[in-house]
Amino acid sequence: MNTPCLCCGQDVEAFLSFGSMPLANAFVAPGDSRPEYRYSLAVGICSECTMVQLLKPVPREKLFHEAYAYYSSTSSRMSDHFRRFAADVHTQYLVGQSPLVVELGSNDGIMLQHFVDRGVRCLGIEPSANVASAAKVRGIPTICRFFDETLARQIAAEHGRANAILAANVLCHIQDLHGALQGMRALLTPEGVVVCEDPYLGDLVSRTAYDQIYDEHIYYFSLASLQSAFASHDFELIDASRQEVHGGSMRYTFAAAGTRKVMPAVFRLRQVESELGLSNPETFHRFRQRVERSRQELIALLATLTADGRRVVGYGATSKSTTVINYCGLTTQHIAYISDTTPGKQGKLTPGAHIPVQPREHFLADHPEYALLFAWNHQGEVLEKEAAFTSAGGKWIVYVPEVGIL
Ligand code: DWN
Ligand code: SAH
């Protein structure tokens, strides 16, 4: 039986199932023997609006709460990216005004910090209390709530309407996408812009980056599917640009239909996209076959290394790694521990497989032979930072876009 689309209610055709999974960011304290929450991880494509989506989303309160494990500011390259993002929005859309900028999913303030520094009035909406507090400590006004239409109207009444609404890596996390878009409509000034950025489905498919699929990512946007969702709220896509962050992302700028010029990039990228076949279920069946092959190759590579007595550790206890580790059945037999710089993850065990997470200092003192790069989306930053590991003969194992040793 087909599942109804979360966006338009039509049939969703399943194309990949990972089976039962633990939550991507539910790190376990050693000695905690309570059973872990599990859910069925599967994705499909809507036959009508072509939105790729999870078949059974997990209730949002189980994912975003007072102990959310991801702090955006753990990557210096991402901090640079958001500094440029803020500068671009400011100079392109906000000059000559006394604007209000509202950011959804503002996390620890990685982007809004730059609006504060520029003296621009801003407000973050962040439901995960721990990361919201980190932002407040940095002096960033933050409301600790899930964004929806009710909250949007409250903000508009209290603070006035927003000239720009920003949402980086958050729209794809919001199951009630139409509720969020209605909220944006209510909150935005008539001339305002919505600038959002999310992992791009075209890159996910072409790089076989199946580890982007996990509980928090409910939607996997293409230009066409996101354009269609926004269009039903009278928004028009006026600009789009590819971004290399998070393994291949797309930045989209929307405005009220007919209010601004549509940039040529929109037409160009739509053309490129139509050649990728992102609305064709056949593309996703081929993707599933590549995912299955990638899994077999990674298992075989790790089995060979461990049979030879090689010591492998993981690098970056990412959300994505929970999918890879549990889908490939990796254990401490394959990976001794995972190095991660996030204090809240250190000393804990990874969801499902219970691989210990260790601070980077442990990795530096340990000199393992191989490091499996789970934070592959930060490859440039990590390789630069860990040049000493590489020059001492340490080897990097990767699995996106292909399984191999760098
Ligand atoms: O969409 C999402 C993105 C934006 O962030 C969220 N759903 C959750 C999260 O996804 P993720 O956990 O896969 O994100 P990252 O940025 O790939 O995670 C990197 C992890 O690696 C962090 O735990 C920090 C760690 N790290 C490290 O140990 N050394 C990262 C870098 C750059 C490093 O040098
Ligand atoms: N924007 C940051 C954080 C992305 S992680 C970055 O790009 O690095 C996703 C964030 O969205 C989390 O901090 C989560 O708590 C938040 N979030 C989830 N659902 C939300 C909602 N309905 N409204 C606002 N934020 C939400």
Which DSSP string do the residues of 181-246 spell out, in sequence order? Answer: HHHHHHHEEEEEEEEEEEE-HHHHHHTT-GGG-STT--EE--HHHHHHHHHTTTEEEEEEEEE-GG
71 C-alpha to ligand 1 centroid (Å) = 8
Question: pTM surpassing 0.95?
Answer: yes
167 C-alpha to ligand 2 centroid (Å) = 8
Q: Is the CB of 126 under 6 A from ligand 2?
A: yes
188 C-alpha to ligand 1 centroid (Å) = 30
Q: What's at 118, amino acid-wise?
A: R
The ligand 2 atom at the shortest distance from the C-alpha of residue 104 is: 24
4 C-alpha to ligand 1 centroid (Å) = 32
Q: Is the CB of 314 under 6 A from ligand 1?
A: no
Report how far residue 364's alpha carbon sits from residue 387's, in angstroms, rounded to the nearest whole number.
Answer: 11
Query: Which of the ligands is closest to the CA of residue 386?
Result: 1
Query: Which of the ligands is closest to the CA of residue 197?
Result: 2
Q: Is the CB of 197 under 6 A from ligand 2?
A: no
Report how far residue 382's alpha carbon sits from residue 364's, in angstroms, rounded to the nearest whole number.
Answer: 13
131 C-alpha to ligand 1 centroid (Å) = 14
**Is the separation of the CB atoms in 299 and 329 below 8 Å?**
yes
Report how far residue 2's alpha carbon sits from residue 9's, in angstroms, rounded to the nearest whole number.
Answer: 11
Query: Which of the ligands is closest to the CA of residue 69?
Result: 1
374 C-alpha to ligand 2 centroid (Å) = 21
Other Cβ atoms closer than 10 A to 267 = 11
135 C-alpha to ligand 1 centroid (Å) = 18
**Tens of pLDDT along the chain (406 residues)?**
679 999 999 999 999 999 999 999 999 999 999 999 999 999 999 999 999 999 999 999 999 999 999 999 999 999 999 999 999 999 999 988 799 999 999 999 999 999 999 999 999 999 999 999 999 999 999 999 999 999 999 999 999 999 999 999 999 999 999 999 999 999 999 999 999 999 999 999 999 999 999 999 999 999 999 999 999 999 999 999 999 999 999 999 999 999 999 999 999 999 999 999 999 999 999 999 999 999 999 999 999 999 999 999 999 999 999 999 999 999 999 999 999 999 999 999 999 999 999 999 999 999 999 999 999 999 999 999 999 999 999 999 999 999 999 9
40: Cβ contacts below 8 Å, ≥ 6 apart = 17, 19, 20, 21, 55, 56
402: Cβ contacts below 8 Å, ≥ 6 apart = 208, 294, 297
Using left for φ > 0, alpha for ψ between -120 and 50, and beta otherwise, residue 253 falls in: beta
Q: Could you report the per-residue pLDDT of 13-36, keeping only the tens digit for each?
A: 999 999 999 999 999 999 999 999
Q: At what angle do helices 223-231 and 177-187 cross, to 10 degrees?
A: 60
- Of the candidates 201, 274, 281, 224, the one whose C-alpha atom is nearest the C-alpha of residue 14 is 281
Q: Is the CB of 58 under 6 A from ligand 2?
A: no
Report how far residue 362's alpha carbon sits from residue 369's, in angstroms, rounded to the nearest whole number.
Answer: 14
Q: Is the CB of 317 under 6 A from ligand 1?
A: yes
Report how far residue 123's alpha carbon sits from residue 250's, in angstroms, rounded to the nearest whole number.
Answer: 23
Using left for φ > 0, alpha for ψ between -120 and 50, and beta otherwise, residue 98 falls in: beta
273 C-alpha to ligand 2 centroid (Å) = 26
Question: Could you give phi then psi for residue 174, rounded to 5 degrees?
Answer: -105, 110
Query: Which of the ligands is closest to the CA of residue 58?
Result: 2
CA–centroid distance for 357 within its chain:
21
Q: Is the CB of 168 under 6 A from ligand 2?
A: yes
**CA dist 72 to 114, 135, 140, 165, 193, Å?**
14, 11, 15, 19, 23
Q: Is the CB of 79 under 6 A from ligand 1?
A: no
